[in-house]
């Protein structure tokens, strides 16, 4: 096919709304050559719409491909990290639980020297970890633990109670202590609707001295790692 015939074919395809990438598959010339040929080629509204749609579809394909690669890479990193841990002992479980309480638990202070154990969080894994730490490592009886649920008004309370009951493998009746947070006029929360499960506070009855004991563990960690003078 002569160059003039290639030009006519390319222009015809362009007028039909084909993209440069599509045209190059049938017209074997340089991309710069096509740009010169199409300089004075006008496109109708439908043709422009087709080209725009093609660009959108190409962008979506690229986005999906990058997302799939990111997910694959993330999973690989997590699997490698899990393998690095090896087999952990109960001593590690004990120390991690103490560190969690250090970060998220209620502390005894001069204005509240008798504070009991109170641990609050919205992360299901963290709540389950801490509850199991109390019962398995610290030998706290489940009867001594009571749970409070902090939620906003207007949400599906039964759905949320069922969710936490499954997380902690407890009876749904154990989540009757509900504290309602004030609804703000304008909220930027992302976890709304079916993805909203509120916040759990784990309390231990008659645990003032146990709170002091945890403080001793934390102080011991700080001393061993020379974090205090």
117 lies in the same domain as 168: yes
Lowest-confidence pick of 14-23, 43-52, 64-73, 129-138:
43-52
Task: Give the domain extent around 129.
Answer: 90-224
What pLDDT, on a 0 to 100 scale, did the predictor assign at position 44?
A: 63
47 lies in the same domain as 11: yes
Residue showing tokens 């084909």: 18
In this structure, is residue 83 part of a structural domain?
A: no
In this structure, is residue 190 part of a structural domain?
A: yes
Task: Detail the DSSP E strand segments found in the chain.
Answer: 117-121, 145-152, 178-181, 199-204
In this structure, is residue 76 part of a structural domain?
A: no
In this structure, is residue 218 part of a structural domain?
A: yes
Distance CA 227, CA 192 (A): 40
Lowest-confidence pick of 68-72, 85-89, 129-133, 224-228:
224-228
214 lies in the same domain as 119: yes
94 lies in the same domain as 153: yes
Tokens of 204: 């231990």
**Average pLDDT of span 69-98:** 95
In this structure, is residue 84 part of a structural domain?
A: no
User: Half-sphere exposure (CA, 13 Å, Cβ side) for 166?
Assistant: 6
For a pLDDT cut of 90, what percent of the chain falls above it? 61
125 lies in the same domain as 48: no
99 lies in the same domain as 20: no
CA angle 224, 226, 229 (to 5 degrees): 120
Tokens of 222: 């700080």
Q: What's the domain count of the chain?
A: 2
């Amino acid at each position: 096919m002569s160059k003039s015939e290639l030009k006519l074919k390319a222009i015809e395809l362009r007028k039909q709304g084909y993209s440069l990438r599509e045209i190059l598959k049938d017209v074997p010339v340089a991309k710069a050559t096509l740009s010169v040929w199409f300089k004075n080629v006008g496109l109708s509204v439908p043709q422009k719409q087709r080209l725009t749609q093609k660009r959108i579809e190409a962008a979506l394909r690229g986005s999906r491909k990058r997302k799939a690669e990111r997910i694959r890479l993330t999973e690989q990193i997590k699997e490698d990290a899990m393998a690095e841990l090896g087999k952990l002992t109960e001593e590690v479980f004990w120390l991690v639980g103490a560190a969690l309480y250090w970060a998220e638990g209620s502390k005894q202070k001069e204005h509240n020297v008798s504070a009991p154990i109170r641990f609050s969080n919205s992360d299901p894994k963290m709540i389950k970890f801490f509850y199991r730490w109390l019962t398995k490592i610290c030998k706290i009886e489940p009867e001594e633990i009571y749970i409070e649920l902090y939620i906003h008004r207007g949400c599906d309370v039964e759905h949320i109670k069922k969710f936490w009951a499954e997380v902690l493998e407890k009876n749904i009746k154990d989540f009757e202590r509900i504290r309602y947070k004030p609804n703000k006029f304008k909220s930027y929360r992302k976890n709304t609707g079916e993805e909203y499960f509120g916040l759990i506070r784990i309390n231990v009855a008659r645990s003032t001295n146990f709170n002091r004991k945890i403080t001793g563990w934390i102080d011991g960690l700080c001393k061993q790692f020379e974090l205090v003078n």
